[in-house]
Amino acid sequence: MRDALTRCTRLGLAVLAFGALTVVSCERLVATKIAKIAAEPGTYQGKDVTVIGTVKERIDVPAVKCYILSDGNSSIGVVTKGKLPLVGAKVRAKGRVNQSFAIGVRKLLVIIETPKAVPTPPKNPVVPGGGPG
């Protein structure tokens, strides 16, 4: 009985590890390398992409919030309406590539982040026969 439980536990851990690796691998397969976008910005102009990288810098000026994301080889700016991630954080960003975007005196290749979907609250249900009267 004890051997069966140990075997079952090992099998469960193996399946869990395999599942975690699959999810991480799939996310990396879907993501576009920042270096590739930087090398061929015209190819990606106006296209929606997903990138993964480490936040290297935050730019928070009154008109725009942006963070610089690096994959170790290249960097790209990500313009967001959400909260700015902390420097050093590993981030996945989705949005549309824009070749030149001026922030102050800096001109950046940026991704304009797609706003996160906000759930719509349900409308008040109509109760049959529940009117005044």
| CATH classification at residue 109 | 2.40.50.140
Q: Which of 79, 85, 81 is nearest to 54 (CA)?
A: 85
pLDDT value of position 133? 52
Same domain, 46 and 81: yes
Same domain, 66 and 106: yes
Q: Which of 102, 48, 57 is nearest to 75 (CA)?
A: 57
Same domain, 64 and 106: yes
Same domain, 25 and 45: no
**CB under 8 Å to 92, separation ≥6 — which residues?**
27, 31, 50, 51, 52
Per-residue pLDDT band for 24 (boundaries 50, 70, 90) equals very low
Same domain, 11 and 47: no
Identify the domain containing residue 10 by its residue range: 1-30
Q: Is the residue at 122 inside a domain?
A: no
User: Checking DSSP bridges between strand 75-80 and strand 90-103, what pairing results, if any?
Assistant: unpaired
Report the Cα 3 to chain-centroid distance in Å.
43
pLDDT higher than 80, residue 23: no
**Mean pLDDT computed over 102-121:** 72
pLDDT-above-90 percentage for the chain: 38
Q: Is the residue at 26 inside a domain?
A: yes
pLDDT higher than 50, residue 113: yes
pTM of the model: 0.64
Amino acid at residue number 41: P
Residue pLDDT, tens place only, 64-99: 899 999 999 899 999 998 899 999 999 999 999 987
8 Å CB contact between 99 and 41: yes
pLDDT value of position 9? 66
Distance CA 7, CA 16 (A): 14
Q: Is the residue at 70 inside a domain?
A: yes
- Cβ atoms within 10 A of the Cβ of 109, count? 19
Distance CA 98, CA 100 (A): 6
Same domain, 108 and 71: yes
Angle at CA of residue 83, ends 78 and 87, nearest 5°:
65
Q: Is the residue at 19 inside a domain?
A: yes
pLDDT value of position 97? 94
